[in-house]
Amino acid sequence: MPAPPYPIPAQEDVIRGNLNSTLLSVLFLGIYSVIYFSSFCIYSSKRVSRHGIVVGTISLSYAVYVVAIACEWYQIQQTVVNQGDTRDTIFTATLETPRWYLLLSDICKMLMGGLADGLLIWRCYNVWNHSIRVILLPLLLLLAEIAVDLYVLKGVSDANLNASGSGARALDRLGAVLLFLTLATTLLTTLLISYRVYMVCRDSLKCGSATRFSQIIELLVQSAALYSVATLAYAIASVIPSRNQSLGPLVGIQYTSSFYLFSAGVAPTIMSIRVAFMADKNQGSLASHVSALQFEAHEDDPSNFTTFSSTNSSGTTAENINTRGTHKLKPG
């Protein structure tokens, strides 16, 4: 089916966005590889080798990302090399992607988002001392995500689906709903983790600007805020309609999709590295106290007593937060 008659500048924008977003994804893959293998080395060390849930999740997420980028690279080669006779043929091939590619791409995005949200909820569960009540709403949102995921995949795999008909438009709307469900899960979990980290180190925020800056960074890293920002950008781009033969929203989706997929994998991985790395630091530092909010419970503490303390710039203890009836959390 020939592509609709769009202006030449609009066609060039779409082709350029398709090519540049693929190159950007390949660059992201290199960055992600360094971060992933660094985290794998840390979690394979003696002190954190038992954290199978975290290692398994970030490893599966990385594997899915590699598959997604490989498919994206293959598709851009098919578009530019095999169907690159003219600008019109490249533009048509860009818009009319094969069904198998759409299905596999959607599966990768859904897996990446689900794994990222699952790891964030797991982190939230542990920093809130294994409180089911705190993570109940994020869990319900995650289950809703999974349900919509399955429905969208069923629709994409339907051989009778008309790519330009009402069924395709319904799937587009469901895709937008899915992104906003993911956004709600991510934002809620990020806020819960950030609030918990802030409560542990709140008195130290009254110190100098350097200390405040370090705590802001701590909040952003440990709550995987990058993932929330990327999800928000992708969700907004997905609901902006194209008007007057303008394909600007499509170009926006091309770039935000690449950023979303990258952040869904790398933000939770960086979060896990931060937690594992800072747990091995001097126990007297504030960052190590903040990172004492770990992924897994420490079973062999006979007193079952957790202490979080914040140290001010003069070296004296500003606050001790003692929590009885909870597990002491180990590095991880």
pLDDT at 152: 86
Residue ranges per structural domain of the chain? 8-329
3's CB contacts (< 8 A; 6+ apart) are 88, 91, 92, 95, 96
Instruction: List per-block mean pLDDT (blocks of 10 residues) for the chain, which spans 332 residues.
Output: 68 91 95 92 66 86 96 90 84 86 90 92 87 93 92 77 60 83 90 80 55 61 78 88 74 92 91 70 47 48 38 40 39 40
C-alpha span between 168 and 148 (Å, rounded): 15
Cα-based torsion angle of the residue sequence 6, 8, 14, 15 in order, rounded to the nearest 10 degrees: 130
Residue 245 near residue 91, CB atoms below 8 Å:
no
C-alpha span between 297 and 284 (Å, rounded): 21
pLDDT at 2: 47
Q: Which CATH class is domain 8-329?
A: mainly alpha
C-alpha span between 9 and 132 (Å, rounded): 53
Q: Which two tokens stand for residue 329?
A: 């959390």
What number of H helices and E strands is found in the chain?
10, 4
Q: 110-134: b or e for each residue (b if 16 or more CB lie within 10 Å)? A: bbbbbbbbbbbbbbbbbbbbeeeeb
pLDDT digits over 15-35, tens only? 999 999 999 999 999 999 999
